[in-house]
Amino acid sequence: MTEIGIIAVGGYNEMGRNMTAIRVDEDIIILDMGLRLDRVQIHEDVEIDKMHSLELINMGAIPDDTIMNDVNGNVRAIVCTHGHLDHIGAISKLAHRYTAPIISTPYTTALIKHQIDSERKFGVKNNLISMGAGETYEITKDVSVEFINTQHSIIDTVFVVIHTPKGAIMYACDFKLDRTPTLGEAPDFDRIKSLGEEGVIALITESTNAGRSGKAPSEQIAHDLVKDVLLGTEESDVGVIITTFASHISRLNSIISFAEEMGRIPMLLGRSMDRYMTTAKELGFVELPRNVEIYGQRREVEKALEKVMREGKDKYLPIVTGHQGEPGSILIRIANGDLPYTIEPGDKIIFSANVIPNPLTQANRYALETKLRMKGARIYDNVHVSGHAYREDHWELLRMVKPEHVIPAHGTIEMHSAYIEMAEDAGYVLGDTLHLLRNGEELYIED
């Protein structure tokens, strides 16, 4: 008799700081250790890399894993699905408390390594195991971890499957069923379906966009939207600046290719742009054109923008950080006049991103756009599609996987509610086969 427990550690009451633990008798696998960034940003002058875990737990910025003390068992592995901060951002604060390796795909592993290297409070010495989609790692003789390829707004994202003597547990936290991705392969539908035939005990799934009707548009649509804005214009010689998520490598890859079609030199600016893209290039995920320029350091960025002003704005396409109006980002510094780039009336600023719906971000973004408009910039907003599955994508995944139990994770109670309504349509019963978990709770799955 195998007993299974699903422990909601973080990310069940909120967006961010995701962490789930799966207990198979006394062997525990931790899935994701994320950061909730907006809980850090409300404090001025916070330096996370110097802060203690308990302080961050009290701020609600990282998962409260002290509850793990009450769980009967030993942590055998920490597994991360992808490299977004709300999935790996707490590794440097929590992982050292467990004698367990960290298993993730190559790109995610490189980002985790960077997190650990920049940590200044704790020494994190967990073994890092890099494993590709389609591969399986044996944790004990009874428990193994399998990665299945999927798509999301960052490369090298996987579904995680934990195989137990009772059947499989699938963890689908952050995915998009994109059949026409612009980088990487479509999700491995064959494997998802065969897993459904083999028998899945539980599906733990993100619920972010479960409230949005229909299916999430493919990244190919975003590719076309961005292309239409950049190339579909009669004013092809004005200054253009584009901003998007530094971790969205496929989007950046598209933008870089459009720069070529525009006859401009693509110029990536900002510390995070440099880190995410340089890592992707080093690992062979992208091939960049020879003329691409990437600058992360403050001085390099200043020099690069001086060059753009000197040689002509029509020669370059700056691709910058700052789509949410983040303090210290390149775009807000340009808007504030703190960098040697002058916005002139008619210059175009393209936001290839949505506004993250929290009041702090909305205020930052409002201030940024207003400052840019006051200088005469023309704003192109939301030239973007989401990286999270919509309601009908969730419906399809649920019907392919056919789990006995479903648990929405990674979201607010509103997001979980939307998921629950959809799952009820698919025949699941709340409190019986469909479960609403809150942070700190353990669900026991009995025969």
Residues in contact with Zn ion by CB under 5 A are 84, 174
Residue 364 C-beta-side C-alpha neighbours within 13 Å = 21
**146 vs 174, which CB is nearer to Zn ion?**
174
Q: What minimum distance in Å lies between the beta carbon of 152 and Zn ion?
A: 6
**164 vs 324, which CB is nearer to Zn ion?**
324
Q: What minimum distance in Å lies between the beta carbon of 211 and Zn ion?
A: 17
Q: What minimum distance in Å lies between the beta carbon of 420 and Zn ion?
A: 21
* Among the listed residues 417, 83, 90, the one whose alpha carbon sits nearest the alpha carbon of residue 279: 83
* Among the listed residues 102, 161, 108, the one whose alpha carbon sits nearest the alpha carbon of residue 134: 161
Please work out, in degrees rounded to the nearest 5, the angle formed at the alpha carbon of residue 438 by the alpha carbons of 437 and 442: 60
**84 vs 394, which CB is nearer to Zn ion?**
84
**173 vs 225, which CB is nearer to Zn ion?**
173
* Residue whose tokens read 């775009």: 331
Q: What minimum distance in Å lies between the beta carbon of 248 and Zn ion?
A: 10
Q: What minimum distance in Å lies between the beta carbon of 174 and Zn ion?
A: 4
Phi/psi of residue 411, nearest 5 degrees = 170, 175
Q: What minimum distance in Å lies between the beta carbon of 267 and Zn ion?
A: 27
The angle that helices 249-262 and 219-231 make with each other, rounded to 10 degrees, is 30
Instruction: Give the three-state DSSP class for 319.
Output: strand
**25 vs 174, which CB is nearer to Zn ion?**
174
Please, are residues 63 and 40 in contact by the beta-carbon 8 Å criterion?
Answer: no
**174 vs 178, which CB is nearer to Zn ion?**
174
Q: Environment class of residue 231 by beta-carbon count within 10 Å: exposed (0-12), middle (13-18) or buried (19+)? A: exposed
CB neighbours of 226 closer than 8 A, spacing ≥ 6? 242, 251, 254, 255, 258, 350, 352, 383
**27 vs 86, which CB is nearer to Zn ion?**
86
Q: What minimum distance in Å lies between the beta carbon of 207 and Zn ion?
A: 13
Phi/psi of residue 285, nearest 5 degrees = -75, -30
Give the full edge-to-edge strand order of the sheet including 158-164.
136-138, 144-149, 158-164, 167-172, 200-206, 405-409
Q: What minimum distance in Å lies between the beta carbon of 100 and Zn ion?
A: 22
Give CA torsion, residues 298, 302, 307, 309, to 10 deg: 140
CA distance to 141, 241, 344, per residue, from 350 (Å): 52, 6, 15
**111 vs 320, which CB is nearer to Zn ion?**
111
